[in-house]
Amino acid sequence: MTTPDRRSPECTPGTQIVMLGTGTPAPDPARSGPATAIVANGTPYLVDFGPGVVRRAAAAFQKGVTAFGVGMINLRTVFLTHLHADHTTGYPDLILTPWIMGRKVPLEVFGPKGIEAMTHHILEAWQVDIANRVNGLEKGATFGWRVNVHEIEAGPIYRDANIRVTAFRVNHGEMENAFGFRFETGDRAIVISGDTAPAPAIVENSSGCDVLIHECYSQHTFARVSPKWQAYRRKYHTSSEELAELANQVKPRLLVLYHRANPGGAILNSEDVLRDEVSELYKGKVVTAHDLDIF
């Protein structure tokens, strides 16, 4: 059995991957909603903003990931895989809390079609709070609550001195606009699948990657749910067997299992069983992520 590489921030060289949320729609108190931070040259880049994202970032800060900044004010550049609620219900918190705590620049958000409308409605919903904080005694930063929205298509979507980001379409059932991302820094190539059934684009964009972070469901639980939910899983998610097949093609240096999909029932979805299912067919290094793990 392979054990996770849970290194402390101070002994992790180069680019860090900080698992802020590894959960699913189930309200598991041990796992916040999907959210992953790539920290390159001391700058954080966030993927997804499930419930609890800002407080999980604060917990990582307390563990030594100082890149997020006091009050999480350095959460400024964000990428969204798709618009499902478990990946987005932390969005108002991400917009407002770091601003209340001192962020002075707009949030930059890159996501699928529909994120602009979602952003507009969130800002409308909190307009009384925003107006009070800007015009009242707080005299909050005029631009820190604002959001610059970039609706994306497949291809290169972002580049700066620290990182290059490429988006690719994945297969998440009827969710038409769903993406995975490849991040390339000075020392690592990292691929995040987002929610997806097997898709050729994942193999194509994972070539030569150091770390593949991929969702997965267990064949053990698959056999114990109804035919309806079995069909759902096949259409929306990736089984342990399918992921092992993908990993055998890509051969990442590290395969990280997260977002352990378990739709269709309250059957215990053992992370050990899931990891062992993958490892039986894929002999590379495999770990199951937990919130606040650092790779």
pLDDT at 3 over 70: no
pLDDT of residue 283: 95
DSSP state of 70: G
Contact between 49 and 78 (Cβ < 8 Å): yes
Give residue 4's pLDDT band: very low, low, confident or very high (50, 70, 90): very low
pLDDT of residue 225: 86
The answer on pLDDT for 5 being more than 50 is: no
pLDDT value at residue 229: 87
Q: For residues 157-168, give the mean pLDDT.
A: 98
Q: pLDDT tens digit string along 37-90?
A: 999 999 999 999 999 999 999 999 999 999 999 999 999 999 999 999 999 999
Q: What is the pLDDT of residue 260?
A: 84
For 146, the 3-state DSSP assignment is coil
For residue 261, which phi and psi values (nearest 5 degrees)? -60, 135
Q: How far apart are CA 288 and CA 210, in angstroms?
A: 16
Determine the Cα–Cα distance for residues 180 and 112; give it in Å rounded to an integer: 11
Instruction: Please give the Cα distance from 74 to 158 (Å, whole number).
Output: 17
Contact 221, 250 (CB under 8 A): no
pLDDT of residue 13: 52
Q: What's the pLDDT at 267?
A: 53
Average pLDDT, the chain: 92
CATH 3.60.15.10 fits 9-288, yes or no: yes
Q: Which tens digit of pLDDT belongs to each residue from 136-162?
A: 998 878 999 999 999 999 999 999 999
Query: How many percent of the chain have pLDDT more than 70?
Result: 93
Report which secondary-structure segment, H or E, holds 220: helix 219-222
CA 131 to chain centroid: 31
pTM beyond cutoff 0.95: no
- Would you kindly state where each structural domain of the chain is located, as residue ranges? 9-288
Give me the pLDDT at residue 132, please. 95
